[in-house]
Structure 1
Amino acid sequence: MASKDLTHFTEKQSKDVQLEAIGEECKQLILSLPKEYGFGNQYYYFFQGFWVTPSQIQSIICFQNHFEAKDSDVVIASMPKSGITWLKALTFAIINRHHFSSLENHPLLTSNPHELVPFFEFNIYVDTICQFTKVDLLNMIEPRLFGTHIPFPSLAKSIKESNCKIIYICRNPFDTYVSYWSFMNKISLNQSLEDDFERYCKGICHVGPFWDHMLGYLKESIARPNKILFLKYEDLKEDVNFHVKRIAEFLDCPFTREEESNGVIENIINLCSFKTMKELDANKFGSFGWNIEKKYYFRKAEIGDWINYLSPSMVEKLSKIIEEKLSGSGLSFKVCP
């Protein structure tokens, strides 16, 4: 770790104190892993091929050891700040459209999407001694919906071997970086755009490298298209109607002609739109997770906003990395907004 990374932060400020809340066996494992200073003024550890924080390592291990997938489960996955909040809302609305046909009492009007579709690593497997979860898995209404930022290789074995479905959404790495940096800057002071960008380019970010994260799910979606649906945020924004129908078909609950003619798809799109969701009290007030204000999950939802933050040299550097790392995969992103 370069000495300049410690210029503005003490050991205590770096939040490596997360280790104090970790079980002894897990702590010894973590201390044996490579670590680097990164986003959120904290250390990240290289675990199972990706960079994560100590508390998340324990959550992932607990998740891997204890989660039993059902064939009807649906898992929504992404890198952070890639559109997962929107995708959770859309998926929840699509699957539950027959239970909440009236939009007046729809759960999305009174609950944040992350409350309705809990994260494995942030909401479920978070107990330090891994004896229980904060979500009653056995009594969840089926199909159960879950969210995660965990890379595909680190998913629980039962998810990979069951017939449950996975929907993955990725986003232009330029916008992903700016959105994630802005998010982290709201919950952790003294974030440096330039220093964090250098770490991002090296892959040192939450569940990074971002290229390996995306490619892991992409390759599986190609090998098992009935198991994993791979989406791009930009494509979803461009034609949300088409992709909402595509998601419904993938989940084996396609819209009927009657539903289409009655405007059910349009109602779901409007309900889950950024404009609607951002203005709801359920997303404007209160906190979520580690006392993170809900309003922080709704920033701009724009494509190309990175041009207002990144210098030409930064754009050139990240462009080369994207071209190199994604070469031959068939996955590409526009550099010009």
Structure 2
Amino acid sequence: MVAGLEEGVSSSSHVGPVPFKDLAVVHDEEDGQDMFSPLEDDQHAGIISALPQGNQFMGLRQYQGVWMHHRTVSAAIKFQRRFTPRPSGGGGDVLLATPPKCGTTWVKALSFATMARAAYPPSGGDHPLLRLNPHECVPSMEGLFGAGREAQLEVLPSPRLMHTHMHHALLPPSLAHNPDCKIVYVCREPKDMMVSLWHFTKAIVTTAGRTYPFSDTLQWTCEGKSPYGPFWDHLLGYWRASKATPERVLFLKYEEMLADQVGTIRELARFLGVPFTAAEEAAGLPLDIAKLCSIDTMRSLDANKTGKSGQFFKFPNESFFRKGVVGDWVNHMTPEMARDVDAIVEEKLRGSGLTFTIQIEFRRSWTLHTNQLSKIAVKKETFVI
């Protein structure tokens, strides 16, 4: 460790996190099974069967205004009813929240590396992110509660670092309105989100011999019936919470994070109560974290080339790493498609103060120089999506 760093970090009461996979209880015959009573499962099945049904292709049901996979609905109910927060005296909780395909993998890596830098220097050759997928370091609430393994949260040191795709309105009140919990939210320009969601889903469903055109993702998202949709309700819930309690909810935009990676890491550290010391800044730790979490680094690792991650649904590790650039939608959408999406988003967000200025800049450039913009977007330094 660089001289002077240890003293600066150790002066904080900060302890965690450590990789979740290294601490999780291993179940043998019970692996993957639900630990809750058959009666409760029957009750959930009755609730789910009565819910409005979305497109059958994705198995979606509408629960409390949100479209989710039918298995995720059961996980959401358990999460709402059974989550127990950790008080500030015990270190509190940190919840990362994202809509699907809006920087989940990246913010997990950045947050873990930033919070755990005292125990795991980002330039160290034995850093957990060099051997584990970020999803193995930071657990999913839907995954744990869906599999009946939320007791594993108790083994995490404080502050616990967790993730969810749930809307703010669906979070347990003990978490959403808890002064001892901090929430980091990352959103993404809607058109790029749609493209990323399509590629991710297509890679999975095509293995089952199905076809999945981009127009389907476009239509379902615009109708509000994509996974964890409506997308704009997801955005607005956390946006309004960040305005009401900025000390507890940090609202980040993927595009702005890419534009200033080191600045984002500093902001994360400050918000989470572990700001970089002068010695850490002099040693270049924020930049080291940015390099460690870059898509070029993470995509090259064996841990992210093979295997699967997830406590509930299992996804190929390689599926979490594609381009991670801004503006890839120009390669998938016609001008008419882009205008339609922009109009819907503008209408849904009107009056909230939340905007995506990047879409205006890109649309102007794209109209005049489509090919040039594509080249510029690909040449940008890329990070995990």
TM-score by length of 1: 0.89
Q: How far 1:240 sits from its partner (Å)? A: 1.0
Q: How far 1:160 sits from its partner (Å)? A: 2.1
Deviates further, 77-86 or 21-30: 21-30
Match of 1:172 among 189, 192, 210: 189
Q: Which residue of 1 aligns with 2:250?
A: 229
Paired amino acid for 1:48: Q
Match of 1:88 among 101, 108, 126: 108
Paired amino acid for 1:99: A
Helix, strand or coil at the partner of 1:318: helix
Taking structure 1 as reference, are residues 303 and 220 closer, same or farther at Cα in structure 2, changes over 3 Å only? same
Q: Percent identity?
A: 39
1:260 aligns with 2:281: yes
Measured in 1, the distance between the counterparts of 2:346 and 2:154 equals 44
Match of 1:43 among 36, 54, 59: 59
Q: How far 1:291 sits from its partner (Å)? A: 3.5
Query: What is the correspondence of 1:1-337 to structure 2 with a 5 Å cutoff?
Result: 23-37=41-55, 41-70=57-86, 71=88, 72-101=92-121, 103-122=124-143, 124-127=144-147, 132-133=148-149, 136-162=152-178, 163-189=180-206, 190-289=211-310, 290-333=313-356, 334-335=358-359, 336-337=361-362
User: Structure 2: where are the runs of 5+ without partners?
Assistant: 1-37, 363-385
- Judge conservation of contact 2:60–2:68 (CA < 8 Å) in 1: yes
- Judge conservation of contact 2:197–2:217 (CA < 8 Å) in 1: no
Deviates further, 132-141 or 233-242: 132-141
Measured in 2, the distance between the counterparts of 1:205 and 1:197 equals 9
Deviations 1:273-330 (A, max 9, x none): 1111111111111112334210000010010001101122211110100110111222
Q: How far 1:33 sits from its partner (Å)? A: 1.5
Measured in 1, the distance between the counterparts of 2:154 and 2:314 equals 27
Deviations 1:208-264 (A, max 9, x none): 010000000000000000110000000000011111111111011100111101111
Measured in 2, the distance between the counterparts of 1:34 and 1:192 equals 24
Helix, strand or coil at the partner of 2:55: strand
Measured in 1, the distance between the counterparts of 2:60 and 2:248 equals 31
Measured in 2, the distance between the counterparts of 1:139 and 1:230 equals 28
Measured in 1, the distance between the counterparts of 2:230 and 2:332 equals 21
Taking structure 1 as reference, are residues 60 and 27 closer, same or farther at Cα in structure 2, changes over 3 Å only? same
Taking structure 1 as reference, are residues 155 and 284 closer, same or farther at Cα in structure 2, changes over 3 Å only? same
Helix, strand or coil at the partner of 2:95: strand
Measured in 2, the distance between the counterparts of 1:237 and 1:91 equals 15
Deviates further, 50-59 or 309-318: 309-318
Measured in 1, the distance between the counterparts of 2:293 and 2:267 equals 16
Q: How far 1:135 sits from its partner (Å)? A: 6.1
Measured in 1, the distance between the counterparts of 2:41 and 2:269 equals 41
- Judge conservation of contact 2:85–2:93 (CA < 8 Å) in 1: yes
Measured in 2, the distance between the counterparts of 1:239 and 1:195 equals 33
Q: How far 1:161 sits from its partner (Å)? A: 3.4
Measured in 2, the distance between the counterparts of 1:227 and 1:42 equals 33
Q: How far 1:187 sits from its partner (Å)? A: 0.5
**Misfit runs of 4+, over 3 Å:** none
Measured in 1, the distance between the counterparts of 2:263 and 2:296 equals 20
Q: How far 1:134 sits from its partner (Å)? A: 6.3
Measured in 2, the distance between the counterparts of 1:36 and 1:315 equals 24
Alpha carbon RMSD of aligned pairs, Å?
Answer: 1.5
TM-score by length of 2: 0.78
Measured in 1, the distance between the counterparts of 2:51 and 2:164 equals 23
Measured in 2, the distance between the counterparts of 1:85 and 1:112 equals 9
Measured in 1, the distance between the counterparts of 2:136 and 2:216 equals 33
